[in-house]
Structure 1
């Protein structure tokens, strides 16, 4: 394997790994928040932890399917968009090759290359239509070919992560009779987990990790408190 092949393979693995981590964090953070709020609301309205567990499991199943489907559709949309743009680029290098060559020159003009070099590179790329189109996809449109299995992988990763996240706030209710006791232990465990996942989620999205972690934790706490208060004082 050549150095360039090794670099591309490493780059592709890095992108796939980043996608996987993003899907895990999205699934688990939402899985923590929604079932936590539901369990908190039910804790203020019912007298049996069994009811909280039953409703919580039902929500986790429904939520994981919905989240997984959302991930699948997002992955399919990305793949369809790439294929649409790829078809358009192939069409344009056939119909208006001089305009496409000028777009190649424009890319390298931004890097300060001389006009002679711009022309030489554009002429050389034009000899291989596939490489020419690939260059335009990457440098003009900033699009890389998505993993063909991305949609399915994303659906499974987000859905399963939602299930894993959802069971964390629900777990204490399996071991206590009183929903209020379950809520107390669930709150401690869930808020810690929300802080951790908020931290990593913020790092992935380029936000300040500590403030982002507190933000995610406070959102989860506010949702649970609102649900508990509404259920407690309206039922």
Structure 2
């Protein structure tokens, strides 16, 4: 029964009614946008290693120039590792997707009845029954590309990778990591030797708090917990580096 205030949904050309009014279909939060999320992740990773290295060098009593060079080397190495690692992972994901798609296409030709049954089994889990189930299976299997797309998404839980986005993500991660890695190093170049480590620790901790808060928020987790975890991770890495340096000094 339709209420007086309920909108009438007129079917469109393909039989699908227009979307009823309601909240935005896709909510875009600042920290949930993919490039921003990658900047946050890369920067958070880029802070820890250079700070741990500069802390260790300070613990060894190294000259400021040596501490700076070591921190810069750590930032560059971390950025290269992150960028290349992400690029290789994206390449492997694309190769796996293509191989699985070829296999699904072959199986839809060689074993069409079995593949139709698998479509029916997937839809059955979502409560589709009887004649409606048979009609849905035939509708999906009537177009081979759509059929394979369905199996890739709902049987294998695989989405087609975007090669351009993978390259952009690798670049963003690497740049964010190397830029963030400069932050723990700057005090050793600008502040007095006795105060440099304190300034470096303060700047790194503040940056980790902000990045941890943003990362947790983008993942729907309590922001405070994300901030605390990020600072704890950086502190643990720095403490381990400092302790090792002190033991070797």
Scaled by the length of structure 1, what TM-score is found? 0.87
Q: How does 1:82-231 map to 2 (within 5 A)?
A: 82-178=97-193, 180-231=194-245
In structure 2, do the counterparts of structure 1 residues 156 and 56 end up closer, same or farther at CA, with 3 Å as the change threshold?
same
In the aligned structure 2, how far is the partner of 1:62 from the partner of 1:113? 53
In the aligned structure 2, how far is the partner of 1:144 from the partner of 1:68? 22
Name the count of aligned residue pairs: 226
Unaligned runs of 5+ in 2: 1-12, 20-24
Matching residue of 1:37: 52
RMSD: 2.5
In the aligned structure 2, how far is the partner of 1:22 from the partner of 1:78? 20
Q: How far off its partner does 1:47 sit?
A: 4.4
Q: How far off its partner does 1:123 sit?
A: 1.2
Query: Does the CA-based 8 Å contact 1:107-1:140 persist in structure 2?
Result: yes
Q: Does 1:62 align with 2:77?
A: yes
Q: Which has the larger radius of gyration?
A: 2
Q: How far off its partner does 1:217 sit?
A: 0.3
Q: In proportion to residue count, which structure has more helix?
A: 1
Q: How far off its partner does 1:205 sit?
A: 4.2
Q: Does 1:24 align with 2:39?
A: yes
Query: 102-111 vs 92-101, which deviates more?
Result: 102-111
Q: Does 1:71 align with 2:86?
A: yes
Q: How does 1:41-52 map to 2 (within 5 A)?
A: 41-52=56-67
In structure 2, do the counterparts of structure 1 residues 88 and 22 end up closer, same or farther at CA, with 3 Å as the change threshold?
farther
In the aligned structure 2, how far is the partner of 1:34 from the partner of 1:231? 14
